[in-house]
Each structure stands twice: as C-alpha cells, then as structure tokens.
Structure 1
Amino acid sequence: MSDIQVVRIHAGQRAETTVTTGTKAWELFRDDADVVAARVAGQLKDLAYELADGDEVEGVLIDSADGRDILRHSTAHVMAQAVQQLFPAARLGIGPPIDNGFYYDFDVETPFVPEDLVKIESAMRKIIKENQRFERRVTTDAAALDELKDEPYKVELIGLKGGAGTEGTEGASVEVGAGELTIYDNIGRSGEAKWSDLCRGPHLPTTKRIPAFKLMRSAAAYWRGDEKNKQLQRIYGTAWETKEALEEHLHRIEEAERRDHRKLGRELDLYSFPDEIGSGLPVFHPKGGVIKREMEDYVRQRHIEEGFEYVGTPHIAKEGLFYTSGHLPYYGEGMFPALDVDGMDYRLKAMNCPMHNLIYRSRQRSYRELPLRLFEFGSVYRHEKSGVVHGLTRVRGFAQDDSHSYVTPEQAPGEIKHLLDFCLGLFRDFGLHDFYLELSTRDDSKPDKFIGSDEDWEMATEVLRKVCEESGLELVPDPGGAAYYGPKVSVQARDAIGRTWQMSTIQYDFNQPSTDRFNLEYVAADGTRQQPVMIHSAKFGSIERFIGVLVEHYAGAFPPWLAPVQVQGIPIAERHNDYLFDIAKQMKAQGLRVEVDESDDRMQKKIRNAQLQKVPFMLIAGDDDVEKGAVSFRYRDGRQDNGVPLAEAIERVAAAVASREQV
C-alpha cells in the first residue's frame, strides 16, 4: 500500500489528509453519523467509494437536499424489495426520489389497497432492522439483460441507456445513465444478495440508516408517463432524517389538506369544475367572481401605474402565426389541435406574445417610444395531460396577466429590475412576503430544444443573473429550464405553511423580434433601424392559479378587501332585520359587500355560519342596539366589541378594506 493525498471537506472546513490506497470515503467521516454519502469532484458517491490521490471529498449530510434524496431513493428500494417479498409476481418499474418523498411503480395483477400498504410497511421495517448493506457493482448490458430478463421494464431501460429514447422518460435517469451500467444489491448479514435493482445510485450505507418513513398512498400511473403505455401501480412514500421531521411533514400534509383550494372552493361556493364543460376548465360562481374581479381590477390599475398600456387580442389565430413565433415547432404538444375555419387551420392561442408582436409591428416605432409596455388579461388554452390537471393550479384554460416590454438592449437590465420590483410589490400587496428567485438557463446538451446563438444566450443569461443578484434574494439555478427563445427568472413564493409556489416569470427574448421571426424594428437616434429586445412577464402566471394559491395561503379567510362578503349582518330576532338592512344599504353605498342573514336560525347558528364562510366582520343587532343606533361588532377570530356606534362600525370596515390590512 502507498500513501495518497485527499482533501476532506466537512462543515465548511477543508483539511488535507494523508491516507493509504484502498481507503473508503466513510473512513473520512467515521465520527459523523449524519454523513450518508460523499461528493467527489461534484459527483455524488456512496461512502464505500475508494479514494484516489487528489480527491476533494465532501460529506453529504442526511438532512441536506442531496442527503434526503439519497435517503428517499434508498427507502424506495427497500419498499420495492418488500413488495416483491409479499407479491412475488410484481414486476419493477422505476423508483426515484421526488419532492418530500419517493415512489416506485409496479406491474401487478390487482391494484394495491390500503391494507396492502400496511403489510408492505411491516415488511420494510424488518428489512431495515436486518441492516442490509447497499452494495454497488458495475455490469455490462449483456449481463444485466440476462440477470434481469424477468423484469421487462428494466430490460426496456437498459435498451434506452445513453440513447435519445431516454429523453423525457420520467425517472429514467435514476435507473440508468450514459456510461457504465450499475446494479445495487441489498446484502444480508451472511453476505448473500437478498434483492437487486438496476440503479445508478448512490445509496445509504445500510438499510438501518433509514430513521423514519411512511407509505402514503397508491395510484395508477402510466409506464414512463406515457398514456399509450401500460398502466402500472405506483406507491408513494416519504422518508425523513428523524422521527420528529417525519411528524412535522405529516402535520404539514394535514394542514395542506385542510387548506385544499378544491375543498374550500366547494365549501365557500367560489368555483367549480363541471364535467359537462371539460377537465381543467373551471367556472367561477358569484362569490369567486368577486375575488377574480377585485384581483383583475387591482392588477390592471397597477400595470397602468407602472407604465403599461392595456391591449386586447383574440382567442384564436391562423396557425401560421405560431410557426412564425416558433411555438408550434418548439411548444406544439402544449397547444390544442387545429380548428378548420373556412378551410384554413386556426389554433387556440397558448400565449399572447405573437399577437402583441403584431401590435408592435403595426407601425414604425422610434427609440423615443421605448420601453413600450403592452399588457392584457389574455385568455389562453394549453393542452395539459389529464394526469397533471389539478383544480385551479393546473388548468387548460386561464386568463394570463401577460405583459411584454419592448426595449433597447441598453434598457433591458433596467426594465428587468423594474419588472422584478413590480412583481414582488404585487405579491406583498396580496399577503406573500417570503421569496427566492430561480434562474432557468439553456441545456447545452440539447441544442435542438433552443434557438439563438451562444453569444445571445450568454449575454441574456448574464443580464438576468446580475439583476437577480442585485435584488439581494436567494438565487437558485435551474439548468435546462429556459424557454426555447431565451432564459428566464421566476419568483418562487412561500405560503403560510412553507410551501413553495412558482409565481411570476420574467423572460429575456432576443429571438421573436429577429428578422427570422417577426422582424421587429425601431428607428434609433442615428436613424438606423435596430432590433428591440422583448421581455415577457406574467405576474401571477394566471389569475385562476393565483386564486388557488391565495385560497390555500389564507385557508379561505381572505383579507377584507378581497373577501367575497365583507360584512354579515346578524339580527338577534326578526324585528331587527330592517335595522340591519338599512345599515347594509349605507355600507353598500360606500362600495362595501354586505349581506344580512334573515333566516330562521338562532343567533348563535347565524354566527357559526358566518364563521364557516370566513366573513371578516359581523354586525349583530338586538333591541338595545336599535335603540342606541349601535351594533355589536364581531371579528372573524371571535373578538367582539359591544355597543359600537353605527358610524364607527362602518368606518372600521371601510378603513380595513381601504388599507388592505390582513385582518
């Protein structure tokens, strides 16, 4: 054996270390039980990785993002092993980690039921207790095909390895990748392989390093996410670094279920999703319409204040328009099929930018007009797969608060900053205050998915990056997430229970204005014709989606200015009805939204009904109140002030609504 030099990186500290050949990564971190893997030259490795001279080795903690992914991927393997113990005929699909958990797909004759999950959990606990070792081995395609000949889905993945066929294959990168092919064995105490799976890894050292897990549910899922393929059974689970972290996660799930905008939409009579209309096409009821109108009116006014001009465009256009923009070649699968109109193909628009380009091009433009900012609530339609349609947050038809700024290249950084500040200000107006930014860039390994020169992409990306960094917000990279026509930055907002939602996007587009596309120009100060930069920005993405986010953020208890009903009048007896109707008339004259409960229910039931409808304010009136010209003023949280003079009660509501405070 000989000595080699490595660098140990742990807890932010670097230390040069001399070890002998054959030393494993785990030996560098033997004193820290929270280290579950290693990062070497940017690549994640098992702790069984054998160190080489010059390696820089960083410990991966179990509570880090990568550590949790490794934990969850390893737990998915344990689940698959348990399934095949209990259901030997089950054939394996894929089993990647996902946000907050993992899943594994199985081909089984009979769908799983909740009782099956209980049995599988029990079998998993036994495997974990056995302390089986995850052991990586390199194999060949031929050997893997022979070993896994009874696993048809694994055989298919081996055939896709390294080829174009893996592109877009959900989870395939977890199983195989370009280069060497690897299998992981679960090794028992006696040294025999208890179970094996085709996998790139890495994994935990042993099953006993899984501290806390729970299986959540089962569902049907098409193989590789393609509805043309066979439908498999998917089991979802979650795994965490401690039992306490698991309990906190389960509590968040309970809270999310309580806040589910689909459930609250029914209970509060805001919107619905009629089958007769179609999947992903919501309708807003009168109360939901109030929220939608308030949001649209406010956002429209804010755009005007920020220098935008309001425009309107149709829902459909000739198909050729979307070839010119590049959407049909690069985004065609997201658009609905063509419509035959007078023998010509038309398309429902999936975006507004091509039509805004035509408005810009309708006459000659001067540099003095720039920035030219166009804005509309444009109704767009996207052919989302049925499996991803979800309430208001993933729909097929929606109103996009869409804007396009046409600027000189020199104006682009300032305009992006202006748009970013505008977006953040809007979110704060609606009660969201916790943000980070995500910068989506081109995937250089897939040049056919993006248009434009390397120089243009580099310049546009750097402009966005600099503005993001100057904002002071956390910036997270999103390699490969750019639009085909340019990079983008998205604002990610955290809601009241810590979940992250992608909100606005700001996209730098140097392609659509080009001579190959819309040939947009402006006359520069020197009289030459120059090409503008086009900056796309959708503040909420869609009004529908943002309403869904707000319903869950507020758990349906909207601030007074957004609440469908701002005041509920509650008469103690029928003889007090007219008094409250007169008050309601005065409040409506000030633009307030008021209802009076004149039902036969007792007062306490009326209060309870108003609370269930999450009305911000209640005005209760009895004989003493009528005599004194007063009301009992009750807040949504149960606080109540008795004998409040009528003028003061009206002023309290009006002031709360005007201030947009979060009561």
Structure 2
Amino acid sequence: MDQNNQERYEDSELYRIRHSLSHIMAQAVLEMFPEAKYTIGPPVENGFYYDFDLPRTLTPEDLEKIEKRMRQIVAGKYDFVRKVVSADEARRIFANQPYKLELINDLERGETDEHGQPLDEKPEISIYTHGNFVDLCRGPHVQNTSQINPSAFKLMSVAGAYWRGDEKNPQLQRIYGTAWRTKEELERYLQMLEEAKKRDHRKLGRDLEIFIFDDEVGPGLPLWLPRGGVIIEELEKLAKEMEEQAGYQRVRTPHLTKEDLFLRSGHLPYYAESMYPPMELEGVRYYVKPMNCPFHHKIYAAKPRSYRDLPVRLAEYGTCYRYEKSGELFGLMRVRSMQMNDAHIYCSEEQFEQEFLAVVELYLRYFALFGIEKYVMRLSTHHKRGLGKKYVDNERLWLKTEEMVRNAMRHGGVPFVEAADEAAFYGPKIDVQIWSAIGREFTLATNQVDFAVPERFNLTFVNRHGEEETPLCIHRAPLSTHERMVGFLLEHYAGNFPVWLSPEQVRIIPITDSHNEYARQLEQEMRAAGIRAEADLGQDRMNAKIRSAQLLKIPYMAVVGDQEVNSRTIALRRRDGSRQNDVPVQAFIEQVKERIRTRSAEL
C-alpha cells in the first residue's frame, strides 16, 4: 500500500458514507436521549463510531432501535449541507453541549483538532446539517442520504472510551458501526469477523496449550506452557540464523539497573508512567528494564571504536517489563512482560541508508516466510510543538534524520506512508503494520533512528580523519516480541502452524496395546532425526487418540497396526484430512526433515 492509496480513502465514497452514518447515528441517539451529550464520530478502517455521554448504559435492544431509526433517516433523502461559522456562532449553536464547546475553543486557538492532535494552522470552523440535525464537523460527507445503502450497514457494539483518550476525563459510551457499499460486502465482512472469533489467539492459546495467565502471577504476565516454549525456541532460532548471516553479534543484559542509567538515556522523563516503580536498596534506586537500548549503548562503549569497526550490530532477545494500563492489556498482544527481538546498529551517516534498508529487507524476508502478503511501512515523524516535551529538542536533527529515512525508503523502492507526531522521543521511526490471512490488522515491529541518545552516552568512533564522531543508532525489532508475534501467528495460521513451527510435529498412534513397542521405536527414531514426535500410549481407543491429535492441530498422525509393524511402514493421516497408507518410515522421516530444514509452508 502506498501513500496515495492511504490518502484516497479519506476522499473515497466509502469514507463519506461512513462519516455520514456517524452523524445519522448521533441524530438517532439524541432523539432517544434528548439530554445526551455528544462528542466526535469519525470514520475508521472498517466503519465508524461516535462517543456519547448518556444517562444510562445502552443495551442490545437500544442498538436495534437506533439502527432502525437510522434506516428511517437514510430513507428521508436528506441533503448534507456545510456551512462555515465563527467560533461565537458555533458556541451559540452548541451552547448545551460541553464537549463541543471544548472542541470549538481548541479550534479557535488553533491548538488541536477534534482528536487532540496538534494543528499546523488555525482551521475553519464548519458545521454540517442534515434535516434538523446539526454537528460540528469538517467533513466530508455524501451529498444526500439516498447515496447510502440501507442494507449495507450495521451497529456492532458498545464500548467504554475516555474523552480524548485520557483516563482523567469522563468515560463515555462508544457505539461502533460498520458500513459498506453493498449488502454483499457487509456480509463478507461479518463472515470475516466470525472467522476471526474462531482464530482468537486467546482461545487458541488455551485450546492448543500454548500459554496461560494466572491471577496469582499477575495480569499481563504470560506463562508459556511447553508447547508455547517450543514455538518461542523456533522463533529465536530463526532470528539467530538470520542475524548471524547479517553480521549481528549476540549479547545479554540484566533485567534491572540503577536509576542513573535511565536518567542518562532520557527514558525516565518520557516513559516513567509505563515503568514499574523503583525498588530501593542501600540508598540506591533500581528499575526493572522497559527496554534494552541503554544496556547496548554501554556494551558499545566498553572499548574504543574505529570507523573500521562500524557498523556494530548488537542483538538480544531481552526480557523487558512495562506497566501497561489494566484496561489496555489484551492477551499476548498487550502484556507487561515481553521478550523483544531487539538489536541496535551503530553506524556512520554514510552507512545509514544501507543499514536501514538492510533492516527493511529483513522484515520482507520474514513476511515471505510467514506468508504475510499485506503490510504497510509507516514513517512516524515528530511535531515541532512537542520539542522539549515529547521529543528531544533539536529541530535541525529531526528534519535531517526524517529526510534521511525518506530518502532511504525511496531509494530502496519501499512504499511507505507518513504519520505525524508519532515518532520515538529520540528520532523518527518506521512502524510496520501487517494483516493476517483473514485481513485483521496488527502493529508488529519498528525500525527507529536515534540521533540523540548516543551523544548522551558519549558514544564515539574515530573517523577516517582521526577525529572523534558520534554514531547514529538504529533500533530494530523485526519479529516484535515473542508475545505479540506468537499471538499474531496463532490467528494468522488459525493454530495450523507450518511443520517447522508446530510444537508437536508427529503423533504416533498404535491401534492396540500390542503395537505400543513399535510406536515407541518410531518415536525414538524420529526424535533422533530432529523431529518432535510423541507416541500416544494411553488407554483411549484409536479414534479418540486421532481426535485428540486433530484438536491439537498436529501436522502428521502416524497410525500403526499389525500391517505397519510387519512392513515397517506407517498409515499416514495429515492435518488437512488427506491419507496415505504403506508409507515407508525412512521416506516419511526424510520428507518431514526436509519440510523442517526449508521451513516450508507445505504439509
């Protein structure tokens, strides 16, 4: 996806339909609750929402009534009429709507838009009217409600949402809806949501015995079960192979450190709210680490460096801890304990573009391996209003490094979009959005430029002219964290992992107890060949054992009875339902080894 495609959505018919339906929904809600206070209602990727301050909690029956009223409004064929107004006139129109008044005041000052994002210039204040309903809005909308298909939208759910995303503000009720051009598009989307429920990584993680959470351990602190441990080991093995080929060196760092390290790096002022509180021993404050980079800076600084040594690439699967808010915890996707596929590349400006693009190329290799076909590289930049607060106060270096990233991406032919005011505090970054096999979007990884922190640690190298120079640092994590990556892969594959990544690759199933000894022999042979195989020697009947293996989504089931014992073969059942009798044991072992060696997606 390129930047132009991203821009076209905001100008598209579908965007206008969804935006218009958010206003129509607001009208229906205010008719049901005349005392309601309404806030904002933007379109989003697959629909729209609107936030309301209501006198009571909405019920499913309320949503049905609101949706029915929306269809009546759509059938009324109302024009959407835009009008530019002064701030004073807007305040008169929305005199009884405190949230709208707050927005108007911000717009008048030219400070932030309706989402609380900084504005570059003072905007026009405009309203949109359809029928007798009026809303503060910059648009765009359809010209007339007749352009909306009444059978192609649906209200989906109600959720809590703090005003402007700040938990110090009042909690509102957010109504989500989805809207499409046709009834068929709506039905396809709803079917995708049903499939997504089946693929929910939280359910699959429990059913496939991958991970659990425990109240006595604490929220957001996953416990990896043996099968989950296998997946983690395989991902780490993959990363080590890739990084060794790319010239990375592996390091290890402690889980906690003195406060001084994070004060020097500058992380404490920006990340204190996301860090666990300090512990004090013998008058010294210690923190568990929320990131690995300050430790890697210390390793770089452990000895003098020359331009001949650069680039230096330090990699680590370091365990980090972040105190994410309770309401934001979500399975493996948002946790408080995480193992990051982290690395830091120290390089000169001349080496920057090549190193930055090498990281992007690493991302693409992973995407190809996992069958990730849709992704977006998003360049997150700073906003000058945040200098000294949200961002390091050096406008010149911000502009310089942002342009360096743009040039690298353009020269590499890598499509990207831009997102203002979303950079790291120390520099611009590329954030990577990916989509699973069924179209669900995930934020996966990041590729960050750091022009500020190396100088704080006095990191230098001697350049070709014998002068000391500060290197740039690239922070990158192409496999994200184990937690988020496993969560994504569970949903992406629906638990049907490729053979190389499957916790158990072969389940050997004897037909009767008399075949147990042969099953044990096969288990030993396969394990000796590097295959994760288990013989099911329990008391269940064969069909129950097969069903158990199917529920765990094991790629191969090797059924053995008299015929197989006598001919030294197996009756093979694959996870996809296909079967093959009289398969020679050695031929099967070689086939599975090849699938593992090549990390093939095929069974």
| TM class, shorter-length | over 0.9
- Checking the alignment, whether the CA contact within 8 Å between 1:182 and 1:198 is kept in structure 2 is yes
- 1:474 equivalent in structure 2: 415
Say whether 1:546 aligns with 2:485: yes
- 1:555 equivalent in structure 2: 494
- 2:197 equivalent in structure 1: 257
- Checking the alignment, whether the CA contact within 8 Å between 1:62 and 1:71 is kept in structure 2 is no
Structure 1: distance between partners of 2:47 and 2:395: 37
Give the one of 141, 144, 155 matched to 1:203: 141
Letter paired with 1:457: W
Structure 2: distance between partners of 1:379 and 1:63: 39
Mark the CA change 1:575 to 1:165 in structure 2 (over 3 Å): closer, same or farther. farther
* Alpha-carbon distance, 1:266 to partner: 1.0
Structure 1: distance between partners of 2:166 and 2:110: 16
* Bigger mean CA deviation after superposition, 622-631 or 497-506: 497-506
Q: How does 1:81-480 map to 2 (within 5 A)?
A: 81-163=27-109, 166=112, 171-172=115-116, 178-187=122-131, 194-211=132-149, 212-448=152-388, 449-451=390-392, 453-480=394-421
CA offsets per residue over residues 393-448 of structure 1, 9 Å max, x none? 12222111111111121111121122222232233333434444222222245434
Say whether 1:637 aligns with 2:576: yes
Structure 2: distance between partners of 1:434 and 1:88: 44
* Alpha-carbon distance, 1:174 to partner: 12
Letter paired with 1:577: N
Structure 2: distance between partners of 1:529 and 1:173: 40
Letter paired with 1:492: Q
* Alpha-carbon distance, 1:120 to partner: 1.0
Mark the CA change 1:357 to 1:63 in structure 2 (over 3 Å): closer, same or farther. closer
* Alpha-carbon distance, 1:146 to partner: 3.5
* Alpha-carbon distance, 1:293 to partner: 1.3
- 1:4 equivalent in structure 2: none
Structure 2: distance between partners of 1:110 and 1:535: 50
Letter paired with 1:243: K
* Bigger mean CA deviation after superposition, 493-502 or 415-424: 493-502
CA offsets per residue over residues 140-178 of structure 1, 9 Å max, x none? 4334334323323223333443559748xx735699x94
* Alpha-carbon distance, 1:63 to partner: 6.7
* Alpha-carbon distance, 1:453 to partner: 3.8
CA offsets per residue over residues 92-114 of structure 1, 9 Å max, x none? 13212222111112222321121
Mark the CA change 1:115 to 1:599 in structure 2 (over 3 Å): closer, same or farther. farther
CA offsets per residue over residues 204-249 of structure 1, 9 Å max, x none? 2122222221111112222222222322221111112222222222
Letter paired with 1:357: H
Say whether 1:597 aligns with 2:541: no
Mark the CA change 1:154 to 1:110 in structure 2 (over 3 Å): closer, same or farther. same
* Bigger mean CA deviation after superposition, 178-187 or 554-563: 178-187
Bigger Rg, which one: 1
TM-score by length of 2: 0.92
Structure 2: distance between partners of 1:233 and 1:634: 51
Letter paired with 1:249: Y
- Checking the alignment, whether the CA contact within 8 Å between 1:108 and 1:232 is kept in structure 2 is yes
Say whether 1:76 aligns with 2:6: no
TM-score by length of 1: 0.84
Structure 1, unaligned runs of 5 or more: 1-57, 188-193
Secondary structure of the residue aligned to 2:500 is coil
- Checking the alignment, whether the CA contact within 8 Å between 2:275 and 2:321 is kept in structure 1 is yes
- Checking the alignment, whether the CA contact within 8 Å between 1:218 and 1:235 is kept in structure 2 is yes
Letter paired with 2:134: S
Mark the CA change 1:362 to 1:63 in structure 2 (over 3 Å): closer, same or farther. closer
CA offsets per residue over residues 62-119 of structure 1, 9 Å max, x none? 9766543332221111111111222333321321222211111222232112121111
Give the one of 505, 526, 532 matched to 2:446: 505
The percentage of aligned residue pairs carrying the same residue is 45
* Alpha-carbon distance, 1:567 to partner: 0.4
Letter paired with 1:534: C
**Per residue, is there more strand in 1 or in 2?**
1
Secondary structure of the residue aligned to 1:598 is coil
- Checking the alignment, whether the CA contact within 8 Å between 1:259 and 1:551 is kept in structure 2 is yes
Mark the CA change 1:388 to 1:165 in structure 2 (over 3 Å): closer, same or farther. farther
- 2:471 equivalent in structure 1: 532
- Checking the alignment, whether the CA contact within 8 Å between 2:430 and 2:446 is kept in structure 1 is yes
- 2:425 equivalent in structure 1: 484
- Checking the alignment, whether the CA contact within 8 Å between 1:435 and 1:473 is kept in structure 2 is no
* Bigger mean CA deviation after superposition, 130-139 or 559-568: 130-139
- Checking the alignment, whether the CA contact within 8 Å between 2:529 and 2:589 is kept in structure 1 is no
Secondary structure of the residue aligned to 1:204 is coil
- Checking the alignment, whether the CA contact within 8 Å between 2:118 and 2:385 is kept in structure 1 is no
Mark the CA change 1:333 to 1:78 in structure 2 (over 3 Å): closer, same or farther. same
Structure 2: distance between partners of 1:464 and 1:209: 42
Letter paired with 2:100: K
Question: Does 1 or 2 have the higher relative contact order (CA < 8 Å, sep 6+)?
Answer: 2
Mark the CA change 1:440 to 1:224 in structure 2 (over 3 Å): closer, same or farther. closer
* Bigger mean CA deviation after superposition, 397-406 or 602-611: 602-611
Mark the CA change 1:65 to 1:216 in structure 2 (over 3 Å): closer, same or farther. farther
Say whether 1:577 aligns with 2:516: yes
* Alpha-carbon distance, 1:614 to partner: 0.7
Letter paired with 1:136: R
Letter paired with 2:176: Y
Structure 1: distance between partners of 2:217 and 2:597: 37
Runs (4 or more) in structure 1 with deviation over 4 Å come to 60-66, 162-167, 172-175
